[in-house]
Every structure is written in structure tokens, then in C-alpha cells.
Amino acid sequence: MTRDVTSWIGRAARALLLALLPLAGCSTAPAPRFAALAEAGGPALQAAFVDSGANIPLLHEARRGEVDSWIGPGGGGLALRYGLLAGVRGYGAELLAADASASAALLAAGRTGTAPRSHRYLTGDDRAVTRHYTCDISDQGPRTLDTTETRLFHEACTGETERFLNLYWLDATGRIVQSRQWTGPARGAISLRPLRPG
């Protein structure tokens, strides 16, 4: 790819991110860190809360060990471990942390099975509580996303007081190229899709 084409793609991606800010409910200037990352032109995700339809452009902020942190224009964000939600800050979601390492291992291997999962939530009175789930991973077969061939996996999780279903579309390399994941009772599920790959 020539330098001119690469430069044009970078400018187009930055313009797209800035155009998405009103859709994310951002009527004010974005957080300085978000603005700096947008200018740098790194990886980006499009996030949307399924129930409310609120769209949030997210930019890759840092990688610490196995966890990638993403920041939105208002300074909130989320953490992903191997593409699975590991925490949410801001946006009214109360998911402080999630351990889905067993599910991540099954998905990475393209296998089905049962996996434990735990979520740490912040309650309305500012207490942290941990909830445990048993999740069944099932292969729903091939799906086409735009022009990408994927396999859709369901992760059906059951806990003491709640149930939820996460969806993961994996490409031929086992990379999650789209997902819908549970953030908790307050905001429900969030869909994630790369807007600009890393």
C-alpha cells in the first residue's frame, strides 16, 4: 500500500470517528486522551448497548498483560481479555471485573463445552459483589459478516439470579470479529465490532 493511500485511510478513519461522536451522545469536546488517540489513528471499536441503542466509538488505549483497555469520548471505557469483556467503567454499567478465562480458552480452540465464569458488580450502595455462572459454549455454525466467513458461538450462562447469552463471531484464525456480551442488569448487553483494526 502506498504512503498516500495509507495516509488517506488514516484521515478517513479519523473523520469517521469524529462523525460518530454525536451518535455517541457527545455534544461536548471529547476527553483529551480520546482526542489524542483519535489523532494518532490506532485501533478502534464500535460499541452499542443493545437495549438503548447508544453507540460509543472506542479507541485502544493500552495493553497490560492479557488485557486491552479501550476509551470512549467521555472518558469511560471497557477492558477486553482475549476479546471477552473483562470490565466496564462509566456508561451506567456496573461490571467491575469479569473472569471468563475458561470460556476464552474454549473459544480460542474452537471447541464447545462448559465453563465457569465470575462477574464482580458494583451495587447501588457502592458495595462490590461477586456472582458466579455456569456457561455452555455451543457452535452455531458458519455465518457471513459482510465479506468475512465466521463461525458463531453461543455462550449461555446461568447464575443464581440471572441468565444471559453472549454471542461471538470468530474468523478462520479464531479471532473474535464481532460479539454481543453481557455487562450486567443495569445496561444489559453490549455489541462490539472493530471499526478500525490494529
pLDDT over 90 percentage in the chain: 66
- In this predicted model, what pLDDT tens digit does every residue of 92-135 receive, in sequence order? 778 999 999 999 999 999 999 999 999 999 887 889 999 999 99
Computed on alpha carbons and rounded to an integer, the radius of gyration of the chain in Å comes to 17
Helix, coil or strand: residue 76: coil
Do the beta carbons of residue 80 and residue 193 sit within 8 Å? no
CA distances from 133 to 24, 98, 106, 120 (A): 31, 11, 16, 11
pLDDT at 198: 63
CA 90/CA 78 separation, integer angstroms: 9
- pLDDT tens digit sequence for 41-61: 889 999 999 998 889 999 999
2 pLDDT more than 80: no
Mean pLDDT, rounded, of the chain:
87
Q: List beta partners, residue 122.
A: 128
Could you tell me which residues come within 8 angstroms of residue 35 by beta carbon, excluding any fewer than 6 positions away? 29
**pTM for the full predicted model:** 0.83
Query: Which residue ranges form the domains of the chain, and what is each CATH number?
Result: 3-196 (2.40.360.10)
* Kind plus residue range of the DSSP H or E element containing 100: none
> What confidence score (pLDDT) does residue 166 get?
99
Kindly state the cell numbers that stand for 136: 455452555
